[in-house]
Amino acid sequence: MKKNLFRNLVAFIFCFMLILNINGSSILAQTPNVELYSAKMETTYADTGRMTGYYASGYIYVKNLNVNKNVTVHYTYDGYNWYDQSASYYKTLSDGSEVWSFTTPHESYTPAHQYTYNCKFAIKYEVNGNTYWDNNNGNDYFLQCSSTSFNSPYALSKSVVMLDKTGRSYNSIYGSIFMKNLAYDKVVKVRYTTDNWQTYHDVDASYNCNLGNNVELWLFNTINDGSTIPWSCGGEYAVSYTVNGVTYWDNNFGDNYSFSPTQDPNLP
């Protein structure tokens, strides 16, 4: 009798632990319904070059659970007063998930000799009567530009690497890239084409600085591969980041980035 009871108890515990493991694996394998791709602090300037204000912008991953949905950025500039800003649908990816973009309202700012301005935010996703949050594991996302304290103008979550700014000269394209600092040894490249990918060139980017939030800023200029992009050529490009044996890409959510022909440098 006691032996049977003991065997039944052991069997029950074994089955219970197996169910827990199965359920735990299922939960861990789930993809979040909403997650920040990337965000950055933007600064506005007058024609004179004087700073006039700031705002935050970024991209959000959304699992497409229904055509009717609301995606909102819940944000504060001062840490006390919180507001809601609606995000906007950007595109649908090949797996059916969606990319949404956001821009918080511009905040006027006249800096003195020293300056600090920031934005703290979380993302709210309302669909099918449910509300899902990405609040950076309870810490909220935080962007800040400061001359006196912690500087963190970029944030990355689902994205590992993102193009920041870009420009076009008469013989090259150039710009900046921000990425998660996943290890000291890394290779960052820009791959570009001017003939619809019949051929392409890879150009190394170079480290510039650490900008907080475990994010690094790198710079690139395609002239550094020893060739030039004629002023009359347009084309496409994407960014690759290889670290710990893995290569991550920023290809503008599958569309690649593009550049256009520029003005003939011989013209006045």
**Band (22; pLDDT cuts 50, 70, 90):** very low
CA dihedral over 138, 29, 102, 187, signed as positive or negative: positive
**Band (127; pLDDT cuts 50, 70, 90):** very high
Give the pLDDT confidence score for residue 147 in this predicted structure. Answer: 83
Q: How many CB atoms lie within 10 A of CB 53?
A: 16
Give the pLDDT confidence score for residue 30 in this predicted structure. Answer: 62
Whole-number Å distance between alpha carbons of 41 and 143: 6
- Of 267, 205, 199, the closest CA to residue 229 belongs to 199
Q: Is the model's pLDDT at 17 over the cut of 50?
A: no
Q: How many CB atoms lie within 10 A of CB 265?
A: 9
Tokens of 221: 């200029």
Tokens of 115: 């300056």
Query: What is the per-residue pLDDT across 50-96, written as a single tens digit (0 to 9) for each?
Result: 889 999 999 999 999 999 999 999 999 999 999 999 999 999 999 99
Give the pLDDT confidence score for residue 6 in this predicted structure. Answer: 45
Query: What is the per-residue pLDDT across 165-208, written as a single tens digit (0 to 9) for each?
Result: 999 999 999 999 999 999 999 999 999 999 999 999 999 999 99
DSSP, res 80: S
Question: Is there a contact between 188 and 182 (Cβ–Cβ < 8 Å)?
Answer: no
pTM of the model: 0.85
Q: Is the model's pLDDT at 1 over the cut of 80?
A: no
The average confidence (pLDDT) of the chain is: 88
Give the pLDDT confidence score for residue 11 in this predicted structure. Answer: 46
Give the pLDDT confidence score for residue 112 in this predicted structure. Answer: 75
Reduced to 3 states, what is the DSSP secondary structure of residue 121? strand
Whole-number Å distance between alpha carbons of 256 and 192: 10
Give the pLDDT confidence score for residue 110 in this predicted structure. Answer: 79
